[in-house]
Amino acid sequence: MFDIGFSELMVIALVALIVIGPERLPRVARTLGHLAGRLQRYVADVKADINREVEFDELKKMRDSMQEAATGFESSVTTEMKKTESELNAAVEGKAEAEVSPPPEQTPVSPPPESATAIEEKQKQ
């Protein structure tokens, strides 16, 4: 991150030993270690938040593309359904017109034969 070599760390440690003193140096080093750990956790949290936002944006884009595809599919299905419905209505109307017009030859329909019980009832009256 800062590109500090081993020799530079030794110079910093020597200056810290002289300035701070041998009694307080371990406590200061421990405090600096805790602060460095907190800084690393904070940076890791920020990176995780950024990654979550990027993934969230990607998911939004994917959702939008899926909605567009679903809308396109729905419109094509609706168009085909309307086309099929109009074709079926036209076929039904054509068949209804054929049924309404009388056939060219009609044979007379005879009444159904009376049953034996109906004949007996007539004779009794």
pLDDT tens per residue, range 103-122: 556 555 555 566 666 667 77
Residue 16's pLDDT is 87
Pairwise CA distance, residues 82 & 113, whole Å:
50
For 51, half-sphere exposure in the C-beta direction (CA atoms, 13 angstrom radius) is 6
pTM above 0.85, yes or no: no
> Within the chain, which residues score under 70 in pLDDT?
1-2, 98-119, 124-125
What pLDDT, on a 0 to 100 scale, did the predictor assign at position 65? Answer: 94
pLDDT of res. 5: 86
**74's tokens:** 């729905």
To which residue do tokens 């039904």 refer?
Answer: 92
Angstrom distance (rounded) from CA 28 to CA 104: 115
Long-range contacts of 22-25 (CB under 8 A, 24+ apart): none
CA 102: distance to chain centroid? 57
- Rounded distance between C-alpha atoms, residue 27 and residue 25, angstroms: 5
Only one residue has tokens 């017109």, namely 97
